[in-house]
Amino acid sequence: MLDCSGDRNSVPFFDEQRAFTYLVDQCEFGPRVPNSPGHRQCKEYLYQQLSATSTRVNRQDFTYYDTTAGDNLLLTNLIASYNVENKNRILLCAHWDTRPWADNDPDSSRHREPVLGANDGASGVAVLLEIANGFKDAPPPLGIDIVFFDGEDYGMTGTTTGWLLGSKFFTRNIGSYRPYFVVLSDMVGDADLNIYKEHYSQVYAGWLVSLIWEAARRENAEHFYPEIRHTVYDDHVPFLELGIPAADLIDMDYKWWHTVEDTPDKCSPASLREVGRVVLRVIYDEGLRGQK
């Protein structure tokens, strides 16, 4: 039974080793570049993992025409819902695709190689899969929707075209759905974790950022820092453009970002646990406030 006394026991256990296994499992499919075998195989894996924790899992299929390759990308957002009867909802999200080009690699001869995406892709998904496991033992006090966005990392550097394909499609087709707020987890597995406040999140959803950093304080999260350090065009932006509060948890101080070296050995179970515990604290503390 969920302990609603407001102490640390009100947050479900977060199994960092299981979360890390989710990260490794995704990487074993290889790069999850749209239209690739690894992408198709990982989609089925994620669908099965979500189905083990929720009776309501949907695939939101869509296409995007890649003018460079002259091909249609077959993309899928995966959506799982928990405590479905509760109309007060929070959306947790991450992207599950990986970048087709390692264009930030120091070796320019490798710039056309795909990125494995242990941190940039798999880490946020791993955190949310483990959070979903916690809901089995401690049902969330609010309605929760977990969305894995596809096609986040397909854009070309220097332009906004081709990025955030899944979150843009989701928000264009959002209908009347309006979560209370959105928390995005992206690049949260770095063994040398540094989570700073993101600029757009702070400017357009400052109260939500404060809520998250208060949760980090309560969880003694040592790697959440109070300064604003980066401005990131990420999957939270389409929600902010709709006026839905959204915050991005992201470590942009990652040496292997968009390189072929973004591999599991650069990631840490402890980092996944720290971020996961903070997100869980936000959910359960917000639920307790709603009960008062």
Give 193-209 pLDDT, tens digit per residue. 999 999 999 999 999 99
Note the pLDDT of residue 287.
62
Whether 153 maps to a domain, the answer reads yes
Residue 158 has pLDDT above 90, yes or no: no
What is the reported pLDDT for 64?
Answer: 97
For residue 226, give its domain range: 8-291
Q: Is residue 272 part of a domain?
A: yes
Q: Which candidate, 162, 115, 141, places its Cα nearest to that of 263?
A: 115
The reply to whether 247 falls in a domain is yes
In this prediction, residue 292 carries a pLDDT of: 41
pLDDT at 4 over 70: no
User: Cβ distance 145 to 81 under 8 Å?
Assistant: yes
**Residue 289 pLDDT grade (very low, low, confident, very high; cuts 50, 70, 90):** low
Residue 2 lies in a domain: no
264 neighbors 180 (Cβ within 8 angstroms):
no
Into how many domains does the chain fold? 1
Percent of the chain exceeding pLDDT 90 equals: 88
E strands in the chain: 56-66, 71-82, 89-95, 143-149, 181-186, 195-198, 224-230, 246-250
CATH code where residue 85 lies: 3.40.630.10
**Residue 238 contacts residue 279 (beta carbons within 8 Å):** no
Burial class (CB in 10 A: 0-12, 13-18, 19+), 55: exposed
> Has residue 159 been placed in a domain?
yes
* pTM of the complete model: 0.95
**Per-residue pLDDT at 52 exceeds 50:** yes
Residue 3 lies in a domain: no
pLDDT mean over 276-286: 94
Whether residue 1 is contained in a domain is answered as no
Inside any domain, residue 276: yes
